[in-house]
Structure formats: C-alpha cells, structure tokens
Chains A and B, each alone.
Chain A
Amino acid sequence: AQSVTQPDIHITVSEGASLELRCNYSYGATPYLFWYVQSPGQGLQLLLKYFSGDTLVQGIKGFEAEFKRSQSSFNLRKPSVHWSDAAEYFCAVVGDDKIIFGKGTRLHILP
C-alpha cells in the first residue's frame, strides 16, 4: 500500500536559516505527491504538488520541493524561514484514489 514517512517529528531552526523537511514515499509507479501546512488553529493549506514533469516544484510562501525517484524522496525546502512558518507540515501521496498523509513534522522557529 502507498505510504509516506516523515522521519522528523520536530524540527527547530533559527529565523533566517534554511530549512529542509524530509519525506519518503512508498509507491510502485510515478507518484502524485503533496506538501500541506497546518498552522495553529487553522485548516490545511496546500503548499505545492508534484504530478509529473520538472522534478523541482515551486510552491507558495517561498517553498520548493524536489522529487527524487532514486531516493523515493520529496523533501521540502525553504532558503530562509520566517517566524510565521512555524506550523505542522504534512507530506502526502495519492493512493487508491485518495490522499494518504504522513504523520507530520512540527516546525519550531527560534527568534
């Protein structure tokens, strides 16, 4: 069955520092991949998605992700984080006509 693994439960970075959140997926064919963000008390918001084509995907809020088939990874990056980026981030993959989510990585920002 399709699944995603987010190995880091919590990540702490300083404001202005770069960020990389890891995601590994399990899927036989070319996967459909997503990153969502959930800010405290708010709903889920789509940051970016990959279906095909260019393996480097640009999203909203300055985020990008790179699909690497050889590593079964879809890591999320941002060159310089802002305090407002503190949130829970979910990697997800399509499986059996629905989106399957990872357990999330909580991002903490140090001032």
Chain B
Amino acid sequence: GAGVSQSPSNKVTEKGKDVELRCDPISGHTALYWYRQRLGQGLEFLIYFQGNSAPDKSGLPSDRFSAERTGESVSTLTIQRTQQEDSAVYLCASSLAAGNYGYTFGSGTRLTVV
C-alpha cells in the first residue's frame, strides 16, 4: 500500500481482556517496528522484525506482550490480560530493511484499558 496502515485506530477494552493490534507495512519493506507511546511520553521500542530473521524482542515490557509477522507482510501485536498501564498509542513503522532508517510510521492504535 501507499503507507503504513494500522487497525483499529481506536480500541477500548476491559481490564483482563486480550487485544490484537494490526499493522500493514508498505509493500516491499522488509523491516517492521512496533513502538509504544504513553501519554506525555516518548516512543518506547517494543519489537522489530527483519525478513525471516529472529525478531528483536528486547523492548517487550512483559510476557503478556507478543508479536508475530507473516513473511514480510502483516504484523499483529497481542497484549494478553490487559492492564490499565497498557493504555497508550501503539505505533508501527516499516523501512526497506534493517539498517535503512527511512522509517514510515502509521497513524497508530490508541488503546484504552478501562
């Protein structure tokens, strides 16, 4: 597609429920990144995928967070047993490859845990 697409744009969920956030990168971009932006905070790195290599999961805050990517296309970020502190905007970005830092960001998913 023309840009990075994220869905849903907004998600309200009850504490304890699982949520899935989706990211569609730009076609041909082999690297995909997830970041979290809490209210008034910077962007925290969560995870990144590069082609078929093992993902860099070093930023995932707990084992309730996981992500998958099918080949070089769609990625889903899953948060299990959501907590109120998970409320944030989750941003996805893609680039041509790891080492190419021309990131294109999606508009994000605003997650609210009530």
The number of chain B residues touching the other chain, given as a range, is 20 to 34
Q: Nearest chain A CB to B3's CB is how many angstroms away?
A: 9
Q: How large is the interface on A (under 10, 10 to 19, 20 to 34, 35 or more residues)?
A: 10 to 19
Q: For the complex formed, measure the closest distance between the CB of A7 and the CB atoms of chain B, giving whole angstroms.
A: 13
A43 near B107 with CB under 8 A, answer yes
Knowing A32-B101, A43-B106, A44-B91, say if A101 contacts B43 (CB, 8 Å): yes
Measured in the bound complex, the distance between the Cα atoms of B105 and A52 in whole Å is 24
B residues near A97, Cβ cutoff 8 Å = 48, 50, 56, 98-99
Number of A-B contacts (CB under 8 A): 44
A90 to B44, CA, bound (A): 12
A49 to B95, CA, bound (A): 15
Main secondary structure, interface of A, reads: strand
* Proximity string of chain B (22-58) to chain A, C-beta cutoff 8 Å, 1 when within and 0 when not: 0000000000010100000111010010100000101
Task: Output the least CB separation between A98 and chain B (Å).
Answer: 5
Asked if A74 lies at the interface with its beta carbon under 8 angstroms from chain B, I say no
Interface pair A44/B98, CB less than 8 Å apart: no
Pick from A32, A101, A102 the residue with the most CB of B within 10 Å: A101
What is B's interface to A at a CB cutoff of 8 Å?
33, 35, 41-43, 45, 48, 50, 56, 58, 91, 93, 98-99, 101-103, 105-108
Using CB atoms and an 8 Å cutoff, list the residues of chain A in contact with chain B: 32, 34, 42-44, 46, 49, 90, 94, 96-104
Not counting A97-B56, A101-B43, A103-B41, a sample of 14 additional A-B residue pairs whose C-beta atoms are within 8 angstroms of each other reads A43-B91, A44-B43, A44-B93, A44-B105, A46-B102, A46-B103, A96-B56, A97-B99, A98-B33, A98-B45, A99-B33, A100-B45, A101-B35, A101-B45
